[in-house]
Amino acid sequence: MKYIFANLKRFDIPKEMDGINTLAPVSLWGSYLTGQIRETMNQYSAQAEFAVFYPEAYLLQAADAKAAEDGWKVGVQGIYREDTEKGGNFGAFTTNRTAKSVKSMGCEYVLIGHCEERMDKAGVLAHAGITDSEAVNRILNEEVVCAVKAGLSVLYCVGETEAEQNRWQDVIGEQLDVGLNDVDLSGISVAYEPLWAIGPGKPVPDSDYITKIASFIKSRTDGCPVIYGGGLKEENARMLAEIPCVDGGLIGLTKFSGDIGFYPDGFASIVEKYLGEGK
């Protein structure tokens, strides 16, 4: 089984507010995108597991648009590290979304440890004078534990910066060992994000490099599915599909020049090419 994920980030923000959304009004954006990519996901649901990670505002729209027979899953882009408990906290989590809250909205997947989340947590800790990567991974571990307890599947992200490339095994090893400590791995997939390769003009990891990292992740996690999180796109879809130890990819942008953004036709083309249907 292959895994294809899409992370919609904050692609809902309109251009006049410095975003990239030209597809639909914000009030309809989640429903519009869901409707446009639903057919592609259902068409290939026998070949791949699909999940789309929405900003929280669109979870209910996505869940409402998902029919009982649909073969794809609604995902959220992050959760809080604590949750409600019988006889304990009844829901006093102002501003924080918990695993059980998004589960109650129809969510089935959560993205944890995305490089942007890691940078945010490291930045908050830095304000307190703390520069401890293990502390970030311990916080993420609390989120993973909450997600599993609530019955959510997890896409857990790991990866190294350019400065960390010469010790990638230590960096990614810590992210896995600490972040997934005492976790039932049956519902966990791991996304590899080569931070040094993300962004315009950056070098692109080749098949050998990705194979090396993916094999390491599998060996450290008893064979968890490994997803390429550096960006599944038309240009690398066939290359990634041919790496035996890579089980899928994470799609962000589908158009990288001009009116950049996430477009349904681009999503369909990437899926077709990755699963062997495209030229």
Question: Is residue 45 assigned to a domain?
Answer: yes
Question: Is residue 207 assigned to a domain?
Answer: yes
Question: Is residue 279 assigned to a domain?
Answer: no
> What pLDDT digit, counting tens, does each position of 99-154 carry?
999 999 999 999 999 999 999 999 999 999 999 999 999 999 999 999 999 999 99
Contact yes or no for 56/48 (Cβ under 8 A): no
Question: Is residue 85 assigned to a domain?
Answer: yes
Question: Is residue 270 assigned to a domain?
Answer: yes
Specify the pLDDT at position 203.
Answer: 85
> What pLDDT digit, counting tens, does each position of 214-237 carry?
999 999 999 999 999 999 999 999
> What pLDDT digit, counting tens, does each position of 21-44 carry?
999 999 999 999 999 999 999 999
Question: Is residue 198 assigned to a domain?
Answer: yes
Tell me what percent of the residues of the chain surpass a pLDDT of 90.
Answer: 94
Domain residue limits at 22: 2-274
| Residues with Cβ within 8 Å of residue 81, at least 6 apart in sequence | 139, 142, 143, 146
How big is the chain by its Cα radius of gyration, in Å?
18
> Average per-residue pLDDT in the chain?
96
Number of domains in the chain: 1
Question: Is residue 260 assigned to a domain?
Answer: yes
What CATH number is given to the structural domain containing 262?
3.20.20.70
Please identify every residue annotated as catalytic: 114, 193
pLDDT level of residue 279 (50, 70, 90 thresholds): low
Question: Which pTM value belongs to this model?
Answer: 0.97
